Amino acid sequence: MAENYFGEDVAARYDNPDWEMFDPAVINPVVDLLADLAGDGPALELGIGTGRIALPLAQRGVPVHGIDLSEAMVARLRVKPGSEQIGVTIGDFARTRVDGEFAVAYLVFNTILNLTTQDEQVACFQNVAAHLRPGGCFVIEVGLPDLQRLPFGETIRPFHLSETRLGFDEYDVVNQGLISHHYRAVDGKFEKWSIPFRYVWPSELDLMARLAGMSLRDRWSGWKGEPFTSESTKHISVWEKTGV
């Protein structure tokens, strides 16, 4: 089982309405696209967390089931109105199977990178394909590694600097490894939280999809269908289950 980096302390501060990711202007386009792809079919969220996306999607009438490793994150979901409609299975989304055949499966907010080996990321695509109906879609939202800005031979890129928060990504370009270090000011001292990722290129994800019997249907740089270009810093990719 993968290691759980979303324990009680992280879960307790995850739902912060001041963060952009909780802004309805950010959430609504995500839910619009997922609801469109789901139609009346069920949706499977890998890494459902506290239900940031699953709850508004269920409110649109889409049946949603989630998988998550973290009991603490799911406990936060469970106290929210509307969560009683959402089924959750505790387990590793790379390999955990749930009942049902889904119209859409989705993995947002960089969460594919939480699988820190290529084998686990490949297994995740295969697990998703096994849950999708023919023609069903897998949607991933993930950032691109900031390697064009990493000076040759260096390993650290800052991603946030303010009086109360500091963030640095530490790259291991040999192994496609990335550790995000977060420092948060608490009572005049900085507390540190670090989490490991495996960064992955769009082309490698396309190959993982192909190995699992899926093919690329769309790739954008944003949830409103913005074009994906050489300057994009993230992508939304949609693969369709086409068979083996």
3-state class percentages of the chain: helix first, strand second, coil last, to nearest 5: 30, 35, 35
Nearest distance from C-beta of residue 48 to ligand SAM, angstroms:
6
Binding flag, residue 70, ligand SAM (CB under 6 A)? yes
* Binding region for ligand SAM (CB under 6 A) out of 43-51, 187-195, 203-211, 232-240: 43-51
> Binder to ligand SAM among 52, 76, 131, 235 (CB under 6 A)?
52
Interaction pattern, residues 131-170, with ligand SAM; x per rule: CB under 6 A: ----------------------------------------
Closer to ligand SAM by Cβ: residue 49 or 136: 49
Give 220's strand partners: 227, 236
Binding flag, residue 6, ligand SAM (CB under 6 A)? yes
Closer to ligand SAM by Cβ: residue 117 or 242: 117
Q: Own/partner pairs for 32-40, CB < 8 Å, 24+ apart?
A: 32/223, 33/139, 33/223, 33/236, 34/62, 34/104, 34/106, 34/139, 35/60, 35/61, 35/62, 37/103, 37/104, 37/137, 37/139, 37/238, 38/62, 38/103, 38/104, 39/103, 40/103
Q: How many CB atoms lie within 10 A of CB 106?
A: 29
Interaction pattern, residues 104-123, with ligand SAM; x per rule: CB under 6 A: ----xx-x--xx--------
What's the residue count for the chain? 244
Contact status, residue 31 vs residue 45, Cβ threshold 8 Å: no
Nearest distance from C-beta of residue 81 to ligand SAM, angstroms:
17
Task: Give the burial class of 38: count Cβ atoms within 10 A of its Cβ; 0-12 exposed, 13-18 middle, 19 or more buried.
Answer: buried
In the block, tokens 């990335």 appear at 178
Nearest distance from C-beta of residue 134 to ligand SAM, angstroms:
25
Binding flag, residue 69, ligand SAM (CB under 6 A)? yes
Binding flag, residue 193, ligand SAM (CB under 6 A)? no
* Binding region for ligand SAM (CB under 6 A) out of 69-77, 167-175, 190-198, 222-230: 69-77
Nearest distance from C-beta of residue 242 to ligand SAM, angstroms:
26
Pairing between strand 102-107 and 43-46?
A: parallel
Contact residues for ligand SAM, defined by CB under 6 A:
2, 6, 47-49, 52-53, 67-70, 73, 92-94, 108-109, 111, 114-115
